[in-house]
Amino acid sequence: MTKKGKYRSGLLAAVVLMASVGIAAQQTDIYFLIKKNFSIFSKAYETVALEYVDEVDPEILMRTGIDAMLETLDPYTVMFSESQNEQAEIMSRGNYAGIGIEAGFRDGEVVVVAPRDGGPAAKAGIRAGDVIVAVDGVSTENLQPEEVNTLTQGEIGSEITITIRRFGIDQPIDFTLTRENIEVTNISYSGFIGDESNTGYIRLSQFGSNSGEEVREAMLELMDNDGLNGLVLDLRDNPGGILQEAVKIIDKFIEPGITVVDIRGRSSEFNQAFTTRESVMFEKPVIVLMNGGSASASEVVAGALQDLDRGLIIGEQSFGKGLVQVVRQLPYNTSLKITISRYYIPSGRSIQSVQYTHQGRNAVVMNDSSKKEFKTRNGRTVYEGRGIEPDVAIDNNKPNILEVALLQQGLYFDFATKYEAEHSVFDHVRLPDEVFNNFREFLEEQEFSYQTDAEKMLAQLSSQLEEVDTADQQLQELEKAIDREKELIFEDSEADIRRNLFLELTSRYQGQAGRVEAGLKSDSDIIKALEFIQNSSEIDKILRGE
């Protein structure tokens, strides 16, 4: 070996040695800092717990400290308590033993939000809107809905007594039910849509355990129709879930051997690429519906189909969550859901829309790579850091202040509860005028009110002009003008109010599946999707970038 070669070899060895020493020093530093600060925290916690002037709950004190620490990271890194851990396990398993109800708050009381179709509660006649008074004799007066949900769960075959109070009935009613295995389904509805009922439709509510298999089975049923001309996959308001299930769904539309998502983290042990493995199951036109509530695994599916020019994305820009979490078990049946990596879709782009500064309570800055361009397989331009932008944007009308107030105050829900108590059937294809007029009377009985911006300004003006003699008449005229404005707002909103009320009543008599089916006929996103499916050449032109 020449002297120059020996010199180069020696220099390389020195660089490697220095790098190794640097890495070792860095690891030593972080472990030292962990140990140092843990000692400080431990002593501070012990001192406060034992010596603070008032007695404090050590568990609450510690949980507050942990939550404050995690809030400097991102909103998806959270600690689960024992009860929260049980709920998380239910979602990951995809089934649990219970009676099939979801409890929620209405006017400060715990009520049945929706009995699960086919569950013990629904079969026994428990209805949405029933107030849950007690579970096995335990009063729900000071309980959270999550605690009530936990009380209803137990061993398969065990009995449980639910005491409810129902509108129109003076005395509480006891229901003794037997707990059954409750399947947590991921598909809320699948079937045919369109005037000729030849377009397949699947609404996927979440990416829980077995999502891929559920979608496969739903597709096989749809494909039994020889006239099937395309598929609409509805991912609106789907918050995501298990990444592997998203990959299994992409697999149904993309040829084998294509990397559809890869995850990259700080530690190389979390880096992983996911590729398609199965033969293409469906080759006809595919449309994916999205909105601002479509996140995480939903964005992986939509983004992969967009990047590979396999599906047309219709709707609104998605949420923009490109972070991957895993659950780490902690002592005493608690756990930590922690972000460990980011995921990237076929074009190479990330869909994460914000970056976290780690300087405060989930402090964020917009992703500075949001102008970075990437290319789809056909050469179309897509952007990083914006979530998934639709190929065909639909600007759906947002609820106005009146519609928001009706929803916030639960008045559709409460009217449906009253109506169901007084009527044994509701088999209409649209809302009858009589029912709509009854709803208006119900709003008056409930003394429904909401405040417009003009009313807020009038309230401020009234307080300022209290001592002005000539102000009363002018204020009265303004109040009349505001009343006229509110009447016009109601008239302008009548179509949407009728639709919401019709769907709420339909769900009471036909379940959630009936509600979804009824809503599809007037859904603007669905109508637009059907137009494209029936003119598939337009889909091809967009996907080719023409």
Catalytic residues: 296, 307, 321
Q: Token match 């008032």: residue?
A: 54
d(CA 283, CA 349) in angstroms, rounded, equals: 25
Q: How many other CB atoms sit within 10 Å of the CB of residue 423?
A: 12
d(CA 501, CA 421) in angstroms, rounded, equals: 16
Sequence letter at residue 141:
E
Strand partners, 262: 273, 344
What is the pairing mode between strands 138-139 and 131-135?
antiparallel
Q: Token match 């208006």: residue?
A: 440
Q: Where are the alpha helices (DSSP H) in 152-272?
A: 211-223, 243-250
CB-CB contact of 508 with 166 (8 Å): no
Helices and strands (H and E) in the chain: how many: 16, 23
User: How is residue 124 written in tokens?
Assistant: 């026994």
What is the pairing mode between strands 272-275 and 259-265?
antiparallel
Q: Which residues of 110-139 are buried (b: 16+ CB within 10 A; e: fewer)?
A: bbbebbbeebbbbeeebbbbbbbbbbeeee
Which residue from 282, 233, 221 is spatially nearest to 255, judged by alpha carbons? Answer: 282
Q: Token match 């199965």: residue?
A: 278
d(CA 326, CA 242) in angstroms, rounded, equals: 10
Lay out the sheet containing 312-315: strands in order across.
187-193, 199-204, 231-234, 286-290, 312-315, 392-393
CB-CB contact of 259 with 273 (8 Å): yes
Per-residue HEC secondary structure of 87-146 comes to: HHHHHHHCEEEECCEEEEEECCEEEEEEECCCCHHHHHCCCCCCEEEEECCEECCCCCHH
Length of the chain: 546
Q: Token match 């009676």: residue?
A: 99
- Cβ partners under 8 Å of residue 272, min gap 6: 262, 263
CB-CB contact of 238 with 294 (8 Å): yes
Q: 3-class DSSP state for residue 183?
A: strand
d(CA 116, CA 202) in angstroms, rounded, equals: 19
d(CA 237, CA 138) in angstroms, rounded, equals: 35
